[in-house]
Amino acid sequence: MPLARLARSGDLTAVYVPKVDDEAIRDLTRAREDALSDLKDTQFRLKAFLLRHDIRSTGQANWGPTPLRWLSEVVCPTPAQHIVFQEYVRAVNEQAERLQRLAQALHDQVTRWRLQPVGETRHALRGGPCPVAITMSAEVGALTRFATPRALMNCLGLLPSQDSSGERRRQGAIPQAGKTQARRALVAGAWAYRSPAQVSRPLQLRLAIQPHMLQDMSWKAPVRLGKRYRPWVARGTQTHVVTVAMARARAGCMWAIAKQLPVVA
C-alpha cells in the first residue's frame, strides 16, 4: 500500500532497465577495459624488470614498433634472467593481441546495436574516441532520461562532495560512486582538452556525417573548455583536478546534445 500511494502521487523515480543487447555490449566494453588494465600491468612488470637490471632504451616512446625491435635485441646477463625477460615480453604481446581482438569484436557488434547512433553522436566530440563513446552509451544509455545535467553528473559520480554547515561551504573530492566505467572513460577523454582547440582529420571525418547543429556544438565545447583548462592550471590547480572538472563539463555538453537530438539520444 505505501508503494501504491507513492506511485499514485508521483514520488517514485523510474529505474532504467537496460535491454539484453545493452547488457551484452556493456559486458564487451568492460572486458576490453579489463584487457587494457592487464596490458598495462604486464608492461609495468617488464619495465620494472629492465630497470632492476639497469637495461634502458635510448628511445623516447615506451611502446610501439621501435621499442619492440629494441626488446628483440636485449640480452640479459644470465640465462635464467633471460628466460624471465622472454616470458614478460610474451605476456605483453599476448595481452596486446587480446586487447586487439576485443576491440575488433566491439567494433563489429556495435554496428548491429540499437544505440549505435547515440555512440556516433558522442564520438563526434573531441576526446571521445569510439571505445569511450560506446562505453558511455552502454553504461548510461539514453541521456534524455536525466532531467538536468547535474543529475547526469551525479549519476557518474563527478560532483564534488560537500561538508557544509551554516554559511560555511566546503567542497571535497568526488565520491567516486555511480557509473565507474563511464566516469573513467570521460576522464580519459578529458585529457584531450589540455591542448588548444583544433579539429583533427579523424574528428573531421566523424563530424562529416553529423548534423550542422552538432558540428557547431562540437566546436564550441573544446573552445570553451580549453579556455577554462589553461587558466586553472596557471593558478596552480592540480592537473588531475582540472581534468575531472573538464570531464564534468563534457558530461553537460553530452546532455545538451542529447536534448537537441532526442531521436538519437
Distance CA 166, CA 231 (A): 31
Contact status, residue 181 vs residue 29, Cβ threshold 8 Å? yes
| Residue-wise pLDDT tens digits, 138-167 | 888 777 788 888 888 888 888 887 777 777
Q: Is the pLDDT of residue 185 over 50?
A: yes
Neighbours of 195 (CB within 10 A): 12
> Which DSSP state fits 192?
G
| Residue-wise pLDDT tens digits, 197-252 | 666 666 666 666 666 666 666 667 777 777 777 788 888 888 888 888 888 888 88
Average pLDDT value over all residues in the chain: 79
Q: Which amino acid is at 121?
A: T
Q: According to the model, what pLDDT value does residue 88 have?
A: 93
Neighbours of 208 (CB within 10 A): 9
Q: Is the pLDDT of residue 6 over 90?
A: no
**Cell numbers of 249, please?**
563539463
pLDDT-derived band at 116, boundaries 50, 70, 90 = low
